[in-house]
Structure 1
Amino acid sequence: MASNDVKVNQIAITAPDVAAGSRAPIALDVAVENTSATRRYANSTPRYYAYDAATRVLTVHLEEKAPALPPGLIMISDHPRTPKQVEVAPGGKATLQALIPSVIRKPAANGVGWVEDPIGPVDSVDIRVQHSADPLPAVKEHETGTEYRARALSGSETFSARVKAEPARPTSRK
């Protein structure tokens, strides 16, 4: 199975009104299509997200592959969890629903504490979606995050796409 057998058709974003003080998450509805003759299970749990204000691109990873930590950050606790998956029938379509925090937390410039930058308008989404022929296995007792991710990634494929996002629609959720 080639990774291009599952593709993203559209991404709709419902963004909170951050300017009005809303802290509600950004809701992504990712419409995917399975063009293969076999059932696929696509991850819908975000593992990583970033925002580039200059290009207005939101990056979202719905996969178990852990990105490298930024310089100066040390992982002190890595608890594995089985991501939510959505079944996509052969030749079928499905919607992956993911919630992304509406702010990016970064270390403060002085190295003490954190600052929060709101995610602004989004024109495009760089997305990575992991999918597999079988549902991902549950986390085993005493299994580390690294061990689980290695097991979850075996037999899975990931595809990447940059998709123009539907215009953000502010909501009154707080």
Structure 2
Amino acid sequence: MEFKRPENFEDILKLQKHLDENLNNVRERTLKDIKLSLIAEVIEFNEETPESHKTWKTKPYDKEKELEEFTDIWFFLAQMVNFKLEISDNFVEIKNEITKLFDDRTNLKLIYQPNIENLIMSVLYGNDFQILQNLIIISYNKGYTKDDILNCYWEKWQKNMKRIGKEWN
């Protein structure tokens, strides 16, 4: 099977599904596992921003590292969407709306001010649209384009595929 750089969120879902199917998990992955991983990545992203919660640390700001950590959040959002698609046919319509929103941000309607805390709360208690809305607005506020996310996802996906069986069991 030949893979190429994703052009949209649907492509991200396909790449993520292939990655997940090739991982050798030591136990069955649950939605709770995915949500906790997503939250962990949000915190790692926060640690790379100038607004990091680690007020006691000083380190040079690296926008590329920040984008890489931000993209890791997208990996777990895609994993969560794929997981929900496997357990419910009703989620297809929601996935289509998420895909549409990722591809055309003009449809975005703000419910509240996006920030790290609201992103974590939407993972825990909100719905998938709220997670996506937060991610899109944070990316806009950070100056990241859809292409930045797609390119970084592709680069990181290729690295992750090589890690299977080496760094990852």
Q: Give the TM-score band, short-chain normalised.
A: under 0.3
Higher strand share: 1
| Structure with greater Cα Rg | 1
TM-score calculated relative to the size of structure 2: 0.26
Higher helix share: 2
